[in-house]
Amino acid sequence: MLFVAVFLIGILPLIFYSLVISDNLRTYFKDTKEKEMLYEANKVAVSIQKNDYLSDENKRAQFLEELDIKSEEEGFRIIVCDSMGVAVADTNRSAVGKMIVVPEVLVALDGKDDANLRENEDVIYASAYIEDEDSQKMCVALLVASYDEINSLFGELNHNWLMVTVVISIILVFMAYFIMQAIFVPLNNIFNTIQRISNGQLHNRLEIKGHNELSQVADAINVMTQQLEHVDTARAEFVSNVSHELKTPLSSIKVLSESLLLQEDMPVEMYREFMQDINNEVDRMTDIINDLLSLVKLDYREEGVLNISDTDLNELVAAVVKRINPLAGKKNISLYLENNKEVTIEADATKLALALSNLVENAVKYTPENGEVTVTVDADHQNAFFTVKDTGIGISPEEQAKIFNRFYRVDKTRDRETGGTGLGLAITHSTVMMHNGSIKVVSAEGEGATFIVRLPIKYQGVRSNEG
Is the confidence at residue 302, as pLDDT, over 50?
no
Cβ atoms of residues 306 and 300 within 8 Å: no
Helix (H, G, I), strand (E, B) or coil at 190: helix
Query: Do 142 and 94 fall into the same domain?
Result: yes
**Of the candidate ranges 32-46, 122-136, 288-302, the one whose mean pLDDT is the lowest:** 288-302
Query: Do 275 and 379 fall into the same domain?
Result: no
How would you classify residue 378: left for phi > 0, otherwise alpha for psi between -120 and 50, otherwise beta?
Answer: beta
274 CB burial (10 A radius; 0-12, 13-18, 19+): middle
Average pLDDT taken over every residue of the chain? 79
State mean pLDDT over 373-377.
Answer: 95
Question: Structural domain of residue 279, as residue ranges?
Answer: 213-299
Residue 255 resides in a domain? yes
pLDDT score, position 136: 73
42-94: per-residue pLDDT in tens? 888 888 777 766 666 667 777 788 888 888 888 888 888 888 888 888 888 88
Domain total of the chain: 3
For residues 146 and 371, the model is more confident at: 371
Query: Do 7 and 115 fall into the same domain?
Result: yes
pLDDT score, position 415: 46
For residues 409 and 11, the model is more confident at: 11
Q: Rounded to an integer, what distance in angstroms lies between the CA atom of residue 345 and that of residue 434?
A: 14
For 241, residues 6+ apart whose C-beta sits below 8 A from its C-beta are 406, 407, 422
**Residue 296's pLDDT band (boundaries 50, 70, 90)?**
low
Which residue in 225, 230, 215, 148 sits closest to 183, CA to CA? 215
What is the CATH classification number for the domain harbouring 326? 3.30.565.10
Percentage of the chain exceeding pLDDT 70: 79
Residue type, 446: G
For residues 56 and 404, the model is more confident at: 404
pLDDT score, position 297: 63
State mean pLDDT over 328-353.
Answer: 91
Q: Rounded to an integer, what distance in angstroms lies between the CA atom of residue 395 and that of residue 389?
A: 12
Query: Do 227 and 84 fall into the same domain?
Result: no
Query: Do 82 and 29 fall into the same domain?
Result: yes
